[in-house]
Amino acid sequence: MRAVLQRVSEASCTVDGKITGQIKQGFLVLLGIEDADTMEDLNWLAQKISGMRVFSDENEMMNKALADVNGDILLISQFTLFAATKKGNRPGFTKAAKPDIAIPLYEMMIEKLSALLEKKVETGIFGADMKIALINDGPVTIIIDTKNKE
């Protein structure tokens, strides 16, 4: 699994003119899932996301996690995070998991993050043409890949 976390002061997802998910302070998380991903990857990544200390404390140091600032998550499925770009100019997406594997893992990630944060995780719609709006705070953008745990 690969995730791009963007610390935001607000973010939203719109599909067909309707807002499907919207948050104030927190993380916009773009989540890519590949065929080789497991529940171990999911659990590790969910813990990393929920525990990532990139919110400012009283000394303006990045020292607080989502729970410390009552932050929210907008979770967006993003198969293009597994684009293969070595050859040519047209990316390939063969490493990205097909929907029969990706959808259940995406839904489990929603449940896991909701449980860790003890609040609802806002979402887009898997496979839809989504319009994402955000105000990146900082900017702070963190990339996490479960294949690079060490």
Helix intervals (H) in 23-129: 39-51, 99-117
Which residue, among 97, 79, 82, 80, has the nearest Cα to 38 in the 3D structure?
97
**Phi, psi (rounded to 5 degrees) for 129:** -80, 100
Known catalytic residue at 146: no
The one catalytic residue in 80, 85, 94, 146 is 80
Residue at token pair 């000394």 = 59
DSSP 82: G
Catalytic residues: 80
